Amino acid sequence: MPSAQDVMLCTSYFLSGSSAAAVIPFLPVYMDEVLGMSQSQIGIVSAGAFVFTSAMTPGLCAIVDRTRAFRMGFIISTGIGLVLQGLTFFTKWVKTDLQNDYGGDVWYWVFWCWMGVAYGFLGAGFTLLDTLVLKVIDEETYGQYRLWAALGWAGSAFAMGFVYQYALGYEYMFIIFAVVMLPQLPLWAFFFPKDAIKDDEAALKEKKRKKKQKETEKKSMLLSDNDMEGEQESNTLNDQEGEANDDEPDPDLTYLQRLRIFRDSLDSKAIETMIVVVPMGSAYGMMNSFLFVFLRELGASSVLLGLSILLNVLTEVPCFVLSQTLREKYGVRGILYIGLVAYVGRCVWYSWIRNPWVVLPAELLHGVTFALVWSSLAVFAKSIVPKKAGLEATAQGLFSLLFNGLGAL
């Protein structure tokens, strides 16, 4: 029987996947057909989103690690991104006003900046969600929670294909995103147990208070009673304090000191993983930016676009469920290279397509290229952070930078 916390975490992932699927796959089509952008302009907007994500996600995650305000960081990042994304609904009319008032491409660069900032906050929010979940679950079960984002993505994308084809225009994707994502805020603000994360801001403040209290008691004992019993009690306090420091971040370390501990702990395996992630991010960014525009040029309907997402996300479910078993068998390194080969296969297949329906077989590899790879990266990012450093969000932000930022750029 799942606990209330399990239901809450799965719901949170489901909302994230559902809201993102209403926008991300269809955004290039919106820019092409509604805003009349050229393919080069679409590429520049996509690159801009990746640039802002590359800069903002690691930066915001670093602030969260420094303050230990994990829940609050997620709520603020998601809330700002939600508002910016929802207001993008008015772009079509703002474009007309700006063209009338200023002419030229002023509206285009305003849109570029707007979408970049929105994606930057949302990227940080998605990264912090992984960080939060990995803090309260056994990392071996991560895939079983993360698959709910895939289910939300699949159902939403398939439904949105029909909605955009027969009911609403593409501009309504931003309103749908905001409405679906909105429940995330009260969910994490009021329903998530505040004491579930043991090393958040409040917990570390309490630890500092207890440590200071112990030091005061220790000095009092040494001053009042210098016998063996006092020494043994002092040693016991030191031992308990040392054990706690081994399991939790040291509250006395500055962020830069913790960052140096993290840097010094990186081995050749971690460096290799960071390098391999970049070309996979490049393929992923290309697919997100241009695949649907390419299929529309071949005559694909919005229904086919939604169906392709449904098919590729359904392959994520077994990959998320079996991710831990496959990691134990092949290791993170093996999974990454399997994913890299699968990305090559997908890109080659797309280059041969002349009929849009032929895209569907290639989508069967999506479970390997995304679900298996990303679940392994998320768990690996947590595993390489020394507990004393306490830079879980920074590590997740680093891999997001490499995959969704530098690689996709």
Classify residue 20: in a domain, yes or no.
yes
pLDDT per residue of the chain (409 residues) written in tens, 0 to 9: 667 777 888 888 899 888 888 888 788 888 888 888 877 777 788 777 777 877 787 788 778 877 778 888 889 998 998 898 888 888 878 777 777 777 667 788 888 888 888 888 988 888 888 888 887 777 677 777 888 888 888 788 778 878 887 778 888 888 889 899 999 888 888 877 665 565 555 555 555 555 566 666 666 666 555 544 444 444 444 444 444 444 556 556 666 777 787 777 777 788 888 888 887 777 777 776 677 777 888 888 777 877 887 777 778 778 787 877 888 888 878 888 888 888 888 888 888 888 888 888 888 888 888 778 877 777 777 777 777 666 677 777 777 777 765 545 5
Domain termination site, one of 165, 199, 233: 199
Has residue 329 been placed in a domain? yes
- State the alpha helices, DSSP H only, in 198-250: 201-224, 228-247
Residue 298, burial from CB neighbour count under 10 angstroms (0-12, 13-18, 19+): middle
Domain boundary among 166, 182, 199: 199
Crossing angle of helices 4-21/142-162, nearest 10°? 40
Q: Do 141 and 280 fall within a single domain?
A: no
Report the residue count for the chain. Answer: 409
Tell which of 167, 199, 231 closes a domain.
199
| Residue 181 and residue 312 in one domain | no
CATH number of the domain residue 143 falls in: 1.20.1250.20
Considering the domain architecture, whether residues 184 and 270 belong to the same structural domain is answered as no
The answer to whether residue 365 is domain-embedded is yes
Whether residue 11 is contained in a domain is answered as yes
What integer pLDDT is reported at residue 294 of this predicted model?
79
Per the structure, how many domains does the chain have? Answer: 2
182 and 302 together in one domain: no
Asked if residue 241 belongs to a domain, the reply is no
Q: Is residue 177 part of a domain?
A: yes
Q: Are residues 148 and 293 in the same domain?
A: no
Q: Are residues 290 and 374 in the same domain?
A: yes
Q: Which of 34, 33, 302, 28 is nearest to 161 (CA)?
A: 302
Q: Quick one: 195 and 259 in the same domain?
A: no
Are 256 and 323 found together in one domain?
Answer: yes
One domain, residues 177 and 308: no
- Are residues 61 and 184 both part of a single domain? yes
23 and 153: one domain? yes
Has residue 238 been placed in a domain? Answer: no
**Single pTM value for the model:** 0.68
Domain shared by 122 and 257, yes or no: no
CB 381 within 8 A of CB 141: no
Q: 373 lies in which domain range?
A: 250-408
